[in-house]
């Protein structure tokens, strides 16, 4: 019997010893050269993270970076929360079973129970998976089966994002992400938050909504799990959807967990019989024990540490301070908006920060340069102030702030004070400083 020789594999120890240049080369060759060029443009290729704790990343040189990015909301508990780490370690040390698709899983059962307890109304049936996209895919399939074959049309909102898998992508309003992929048929886009527009569409096409109503899916993957000060963002409106999806912080920042919770009648209509129960049953890793146990501990930690109240209070303080900053720099900051710890700081088009006599000239470049100032500000926040923020594809002028729910008032002050100091330079100097530092580093 021929036995293949072991390839020239690298180890975890090898990975730990790599420097930024080595990692950049591997990323460009084996992961995504385009993504690596973007990281280089922002200056994010010049450091490697060694470890992370609480509100901070720590690089290989010991530099602490304040995290107001929060991995798009996936780090609700910050980095390596000790209680969640302990639960994950204890589960592994006890050699509990992880893959249990041949048996019942006590951990999947308890996580599903807990999700039902934190959900309003009769959102009592849970489906577990590993990502937000998968949760939304499963929710779309559940909604289609429950609605019946004569009502397969899906309405989705303008500027929405629900994932990059086929079904979720079909209801994500992005030319960039949708590209030229073949998408689901029978979709209609409506303005976000415009009830009158939605009603007009429903009245015009009774195949979408008959006397029995529609099935509403609320995507809470980013805005849920306490980020806005309530467990679900829809709770602020005193409404309950038919299906709600979750992911991101559901895994406590240590494991990949996604889920939907559905109203019992909707779930039973789709999958309530033994012959239909496995049409969209759990995937191999949907019930993985370590992930479920970690998510159970995370949910308990969320309530025990009163993190939703903290999100509401610190979010209100963050908005207050950013609004004061907007009043100080009205030519640079176009808008401040959000709820809880999900906040957008929209910078003006780059021409608005130029000297008055040159604004008209530069305004012709605004569309082409949209997002340039945001990227430069984000890069300089990291380089000069050790603060990490995020951006968004839908409006590239927006700085996206989704810090962990453990954030404190002092962290908010540091972010806003850093922004204040940076914006005080004015657009011209900000751009020149970025160009100078980029040339020096490369």
Could you tell me the two tokens for 87? 């639960």
pLDDT, position 436:
87
Least trusted range by pLDDT, from 209-223, 369-383, 402-416: 209-223
> Residue 33: enclosing H or E segment and its boundaries?
helix 33-42
Percent of the chain with pLDDT over 90: 71
400-423 burial by CB neighbour count: b if 16+ within 10 A, else e?
Answer: bbbbbbbbeeebbebbbebbeebb
| pTM reported for the whole predicted model | 0.91
The band of 209, judged by pLDDT with boundaries at 50, 70 and 90, is very low
Instruction: Tell me the C-alpha to C-alpha distance, in Å, between residue 56 and each of 78, 167, 172.
Output: 8, 35, 32
Task: Give CA–CA dist 355/363, Å, rounded.
Answer: 12
Give the pair of three-digit tokens for residue 243: 């299906």
| Residue 330 near residue 348 (C-beta atoms within 8 A) | no
For range 287-315, the mean pLDDT? 97
For residue 212, pLDDT over 50 is answered with no
pLDDT of residue 44: 84
Kindly list the structural domains of the chain, giving each domain's residue range(s) and its CATH number in brackets, ordered by start.
47-80+307-441 (3.90.1150.10), 83-151+210-304 (3.40.640.10)
């Amino acid at each position: 019997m021929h036995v293949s020789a072991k390839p020239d594999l690298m180890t975890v120890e090898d990975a730990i010893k790599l420097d930024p240049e080595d990692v950049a080369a591997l990323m460009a060759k084996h992961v995504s050269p385009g993504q690596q060029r973007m990281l280089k443009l922002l200056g994010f290729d010049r450091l490697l993270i060694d470890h992370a704790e609480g509100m901070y990343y720590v690089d290989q040189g010991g530099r602490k970076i304040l995290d107001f990015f929060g991995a798009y909301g996936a780090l609700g508990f910050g980095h390596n929360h000790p209680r969640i780490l302990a639960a994950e370690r204890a589960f592994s040390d006890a050699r509990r079973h992880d893959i249990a698709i041949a048996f019942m899983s006590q951990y999947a059962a308890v996580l599903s129970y807990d999700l039902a307890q934190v959900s309003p109304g009769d959102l009592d049936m849970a489906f577990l998976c590993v990502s937000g996209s998968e949760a939304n895919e499963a929710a779309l399939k559940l909604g289609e089966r429950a609605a019946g074959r004569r009502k397969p049309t899906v309405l989705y909102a303008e500027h929405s994002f629900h994932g990059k898998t086929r079904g979720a992508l079909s209801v994500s309003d992005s030319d960039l992400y949708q590209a030229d992929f073949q998408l689901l048929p029978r979709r209609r886009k409506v303005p976000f938050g415009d009830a009158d527009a939605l009603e007009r569409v429903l009245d015009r096409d009774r195949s979408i909504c008959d006397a029995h109503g529609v099935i509403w899916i609320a995507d809470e993957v980013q805005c849920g799990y306490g980020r806005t000060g309530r467990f679900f963002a829809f709770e602020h409106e005193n409404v309950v959807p038919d299906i709600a999806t979750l992911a991101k912080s559901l895994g406590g920042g240590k494991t990949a967990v996604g889920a939907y919770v559905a109203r019992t009648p909707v779930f039973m209509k789709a999958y309530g019989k033994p012959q239909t129960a496995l049409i969209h049953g759990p995937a191999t890793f949907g019930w993985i024990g370590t992930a479920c146990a970690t998510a159970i501990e995370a949910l308990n930690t969320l309530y025990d540490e009163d993190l939703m109240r903290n999100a509401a209070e610190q979010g209100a303080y963050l908005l207050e301070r950013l609004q004061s900053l907007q009043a100080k720099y009205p030519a640079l900051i176009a808008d401040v908006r959000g709820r809880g710890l999900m906040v957008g700081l929209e910078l003006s088009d780059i021409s608005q920060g130029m000297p008055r006599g040159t604004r008209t000239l530069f305004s012709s470049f605004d569309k082409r340069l949209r997002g340039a100032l945001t990227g430069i500000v984000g890069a300089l926040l990291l380089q000069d102030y050790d603060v990490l923020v995020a951006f968004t594809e839908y409006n590239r002028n927006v700085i996206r702030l989704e810090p962990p729910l453990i954030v404190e008032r002092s962290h908010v002050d540091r972010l806003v004070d850093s922004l204040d100091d940076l914006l005080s330079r004015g657009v011209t100097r900000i751009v020149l400083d970025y160009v100078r530092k980029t040339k020096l580093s490369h």
